[in-house]
Amino acid sequence: MRSRKAAPPPACEDTMLTREFGLAIRRLREARGWSQERLAEAADMNRSYIGEVERGAAIPSLVTIDKLAAALGTSASGVLAHCELALAEAL
């Protein structure tokens, strides 16, 4: 039987990007006055997953990023641009 090796921990920049993406989603959601439940309904996702994304505990796929952005009335590129700016300021 083969033993499984643990995945290496994410690089610092990866962790920061995931966190900044989550913060961007949270800010956009709160600017609309929406709960996590409301965003989950609009994006056809589970509320608990929205919470994981906002905390940076989940790494969303491109499809998920697009669904979240569309539900929030913006584009995926707009959300990611916000993340890039925040990362540039942090580094």
Q: Is the pLDDT of residue 17 over 60?
A: yes
- Compute the distance between CA of residue 79 and CA of residue 90 in angstroms, rounded to an integer: 17
Start-to-end C-alpha separation, the chain: 44
Cα(32)–Cα(43) distance, rounded to whole angstroms? 14
Q: Considering only residues 85 and 39, tell me which one the structure prediction assigns the higher pLDDT.
A: 39
- pLDDT given for residue 89 in this prediction: 87
Q: How confident is the model at residue 11 (pLDDT cuts 50, 70, 90)?
A: low
pLDDT, tens digit (0-9, with 9 covering 90-100), for 43-85 = 999 999 999 999 999 999 999 999 999 999 999 999 999 888 8
Q: Is the pLDDT of residue 6 over 90?
A: no
CATH T-level assignment (fold) for domain 12-90: 434 Repressor (Amino-terminal Domain) (1.10.260)
